[in-house]
Amino acid sequence: MEEIMYKSPDRFFWRTKRILLPVDGSGAAARAATVAYELAEITKGTILLLHVVNIGMVQQIATMSDTDSLELLTRYIVNGERLLEGYRKAASEFKLEIEPILEQGLPSDKIITIAKEKKVDLIIMGSQGMTAESRGGLGSATERVVRKAPCAVLVIR
């Protein structure tokens, strides 16, 4: 059998300068953050820290609980800002450049859009979000991102 050897003209991780880290408060996102921070520290890269408020979920919860949707959305935004601040503080020990981004919409779509707009080199994300942590396999948002992302996706379990 012939020996196969692949040689890249440039090493992938060393040229990774813009890392998108979607976070939602799940354990998988926290583990992904650790990997992203370490990689950004090694490559001297920037972390684009993204939290997406899922508008569809907010509307559904508002309808089911007979709560004002604007009031509920405001609470989700405030919680998202707290979450981003917590991840930013956790990154401070790595002395990284962090760009926090808070968006509203369908998480997988926003992750893909931000990755394109910001010319991201790599997306590092958890295998499952808050709603799927008890199941095995990939969460639906992670699966959609893996299929449609304009760059490499590193999924952390």
According to CATH, the topology of domain 15-156 is Rossmann fold (3.40.50)
* Strands of 152-156's sheet in order across: 97-104, 46-53, 18-22, 122-126, 152-156
Binned average pLDDT, 10 residues per bin, the chain of 157 residues: 59 86 96 97 96 95 94 97 97 94 97 98 90 62 96 96
At residue 130, the pLDDT reads: 66
- Global pTM reads 0.89
- Model pLDDT, residue 15: 84
Phi-psi region of 119 (alpha: psi -120 to 50; beta: other; left: phi over 0): left
Q: Indicate the helix (H) or strand (E) that contains 18.
A: strand 18-22
User: Beta-carbon neighbour count of residue 14 at 10 Å?
Assistant: 11
Report the alpha-carbon distance of residue 129 to residue 108 in Å, rounded: 11
Would you state the pLDDT for residue 7? 55
CA nearest 13: which of 35, 33, 49, 42?
Answer: 42
Q: Rounded distance, CA 15 to CA 20, Å?
A: 14
Q: Are 47 and 40 in contact (CB under 8 A)?
A: yes
Query: In b/e form, how buried is each residue of 79-92, taking b as 16+ CB within 10 angstroms?
Result: ebeebbeebeeebe
